[in-house]
Amino acid sequence: MRFLFKTSYDQDLRLFRHSGQVFWYGLLAAVLLAAPWWASEYMMTQLHFIGIYSIAGLGLMLLVGFTGQISLGHAAFLAVGAYTETLLQAAGWPFWLTLPCAALLSAAVGIIVGLPALRLKGIYLAIATLAFGVIVEEILARWESLTGGNSGLHVKPIELFGAKLEGDAGFFYLVLALTAVCCIALANLLRSPTGRAFVALRDSEISASCMGVNLAKTKTLSFALSAALTGIGGALYAHKVSFISPEQFTLLVSIELVTLVILGGVGSLHGAVFGAAFIIVLPQLIAIAKDYLPAGVAGAAGLQSTVFGLVLIGFIIFEPMGLYGRWLKIRTWFELFPFYRKGMFRRQKTYMKSERLR
Amino acid sequence: MRFFGVENLGIRFGGVVAVDEVTFDVRRGEVYTIIGPNGAGKTTIFNLIGLIYPPTSGRIVLQGRELNGLAPHRVAELGIARTFQNIELFEHASVLQNLLIGRHRHRRTALWQELAFSGAVKRAERAQREAVEKVIDFLDLQHYRDSMVAGLPYGVRKVIELGRALATEPQLLLLDEPSSGLNPEETNDMAYWIEDIQKGLGITVLMVEHDMSLVQRVSDRVLALNEGRAIAEGTPAEVQSHAAVIEAYLGAKEPA
């Protein structure tokens, strides 16, 4: 195993803790950059979606995993991003302008949704955001002059610096670059004062405020950033599927995003990417499994939702730290072999907390 | 100029008058202790000073500046830090991160700089870390630097909370029962630290405490409360022998 001897404060500030990490992330980058050569067309599409869902998932992860707020309406931000992108593209704006606009408008909507969050907590916030999601979906269906209503909108292909971004490879590199930028920006934020303020707010609002954290500003900022990321995901999603309509942004999509965060592992950036991969791959696995299931089960409506639900329940009971937690445990097992103990990752029950100030 | 004081401070919750027209002054550099039986309103006074509850009456003044009506986070920015009776740490963060949050009021970097982790952020983070390491040295927390708070014993958490408050570099430190839940040895350590904080760091301390031996040892002046009202003020010995205080704790003598 590796022992880290720290000789300077800068070692704790670095993005990569040691040379091993640089190597493995470098390898990952190389493999992904070479994807157009080794991946089939079908796999490329899966990679596109994993990238898009990773970005959207990072947005929700920031809100749920780091700021401790809950949102059951994130599909609405996906929709705001997708529609903004589509409409501005249709108006002839260039991509380098439409994408920031999609992010900014989503952030603005995020701030509006964040306002009730200043007063609501837990289940009440969940209900408020859920209602928000339904309202946005309804607006998209009814505002026919702008959104085309239920008949939807076609999305133009991306044009970057005068050249049409055609084929799987070009779009793949765009998604890959944006995913990487979002990951690094969030990792940077989380090792800075603002990121710490988010975590403080998650763990104890009262003492965060006593340490000088402006609760209202920090919460609103978290909602805005979260919505902006999900909006970027939405904009890319629109280009990927090239046709958008309100039924692509239903409550089920919001729940899918929450599932992504929980399966991936609440409170880790890796978790968002792992969760995205899982969410994209699971339906494919179900489709394959269908061939081997009895006809009655395979043909049943709602098989996919049932499996998703069961997986979610299974994770919450057996692996509350999600896929990332599982990965940490496996890694620790190898690092400490043969000294790994079963209870190493068990969290202690928290001590009594004062209830009066909540 | 007067350093810190409250004037006619009061709050009522419905029909209950939790704090009733309390007035006191804290001089710069002293340790001022509030004592009183359970339910006397000691912690409520702290929550009023922290602006967590809006007072029904009275003023809170720090160096000529009235705090009433400010947002709670402004209190920390003006240099008042506090600890909690029942410990309110950030459970799922490391000790180091907890202490670094204490530096929040000293941050100077903008969001876009942090997203890029620019040179300015890096320099600022290094400076914050150095400030935090001083607190770690002061309180002997080196061993726990990278541990998650969630797994640490109670006595250590109590010290970490003190450290987090010190990391803000306050002018006035509010300690809510610093010795509660500590064994005699840890209480002794706490007394040393309070003396060091007052004499070495020059920080004024306002504290609520039940342990009379600790109170006697560290306090310059003591205020006794009962049922929300101030009943006695003076040196520890004076207050302890004050008739009204003895009555509040032990009850009145039966009329002969």
- Ordered domains of chain B (ranges, CATH): 4-79+170-250 (3.40.50.300), 94-160 (no CATH)
Collapsing DSSP to helix, strand or coil, B157 comes out as helix
Q: What is the DSSP letter of A342?
A: G
Query: CB contacts < 8 Å between A and B, how many?
Result: 133
Segment A48-69, tens digit of pLDDT: 999 999 999 999 999 999 999 9
Segment A290-306, tens digit of pLDDT: 888 887 777 777 888 88
Residue with the larger pLDDT of the pair A346 and B81: B81
Ranges of residues in chain B whose predicted pLDDT is under 70: 256
Segment B155-172, tens digit of pLDDT: 999 999 999 999 999 999
Segment A68-80, tens digit of pLDDT: 999 999 999 999 9
Evaluate whether residue A337 is within a structural domain: yes
Which structural domain range is residue A209 located in? Answer: 21-344
User: How many domains does one find in chain A?
Assistant: 1
Contact A267 B92 (CB under 8 A): yes
> Which pLDDT belongs to residue A352?
47
A275: pLDDT strictly greater than 50: yes
Which among B195, B103, B93 has a CA at the least distance from the CA of B144? B93
Contact A193 B114 (CB under 8 A): yes
A117: pLDDT strictly greater than 70: yes
Q: What is the ipTM of this complex?
A: 0.90
Segment A307-338, tens digit of pLDDT: 888 998 999 888 888 899 888 888 888 888 88
Contact B81 A210 (CB under 8 A): yes
Cβ–Cβ contact B109 with A under 8 A: yes
**Long-range contacts of the stretch B123-128 (C-beta < 8 A, 24+):** B124/A193, B125/A13, B125/A191, B125/A192, B126/A9, B126/A10, B126/A13, B128/A193, B128/B100, B128/B103
Query: In this structure, are residues A231 and A102 in contact, taking their beta carbons and an 8 Å threshold?
Result: yes
Nearest-Cα distance to chain B for A195, in Å, is 9
> Which pLDDT belongs to residue A332?
86
Cβ–Cβ contact A151 with B under 8 A: no
Q: Where are the beta strands (DSSP E) in chain A?
A: 153-154, 159-160, 163-164, 243-244
Nearest-Cα distance to chain A for B198, in Å, is 20
A349: pLDDT strictly greater than 70: no
Contact B104 A193 (CB under 8 A): yes
Confidence of residue A130 (pLDDT cuts 50, 70, 90): very high
Segment B92-104, tens digit of pLDDT: 899 999 999 999 9
Evaluate whether residue A199 is within a structural domain: yes
Evaluate whether residue A213 is within a structural domain: yes
> Which pLDDT belongs to residue A162?
66
Phi-psi region of A350 (alpha: psi -120 to 50; beta: other; left: phi over 0): beta
Which of A9, A181, A192, A206 would best serve as a mutation to test chain B binding (most B beta carbons within 10 A)?
Answer: A192
Which among A278, A275, A253, A251 has a CA at the least distance from the CA of A262? A275
Contact B116 A185 (CB under 8 A): yes
Cβ–Cβ contact B94 with A under 8 A: no
Which among B146, B100, B149, B151 has a CA at the least distance from the CA of B127? B100
Confidence of residue A351 (pLDDT cuts 50, 70, 90): very low
Cβ–Cβ contact B70 with A under 8 A: no
* pTM of the shown model: 0.90
Evaluate whether residue A340 is within a structural domain: yes
Chain B residues in contact with A350 (beta carbon < 8 A): 91, 150
A354: pLDDT strictly greater than 60: no
Evaluate whether residue A52 is within a structural domain: yes
Evaluate whether residue A192 is within a structural domain: yes
> Which pLDDT belongs to residue A296?
77
Evaluate whether residue A327 is within a structural domain: yes
Cβ–Cβ contact A28 with B under 8 A: no
Cα angle: A79, vertex A85, A91; to 5 degrees: 135
> Which pLDDT belongs to residue A358?
43
B166 strand-pairing partners: none
CA pair distance A64, B150, nearest whole angstrom: 19
A192: pLDDT strictly greater than 50: yes
Q: Which CATH number fits the domain that encloses residue A115?
A: 1.10.3470
Tokens of B125: 């983070």
Chain B, 116-175: which have a CB under 8 Å from a chain A CB?
116-117, 121-122, 124-126, 128-130, 133, 150-151, 154, 157, 164, 168
> Which pLDDT belongs to residue A1?
60
A350: pLDDT strictly greater than 70: no
Evaluate whether residue A248 is within a structural domain: yes
Among candidates B126, B151, B168 on the partner chain, residue whose Cβ is nearest the Cβ of A212: B168
Collapsing DSSP to helix, strand or coil, B31 comes out as strand
Segment B189-205, tens digit of pLDDT: 999 999 999 999 999 99
Among candidates B72, B88, B97 on the partner chain, residue whose Cβ is nearest the Cβ of A204: B88
Nearest-Cα distance to chain B for A273, in Å, is 19
> Which pLDDT belongs to residue A122?
84
B66 strand-pairing partners: B61
Max CA distance (Å), chain B: 79
Nearest-Cα distance to chain A for B154, in Å, is 8
Strand order in the sheet with B172-176: B80-82, B172-176, B204-208, B31-35, B221-226, B229-234
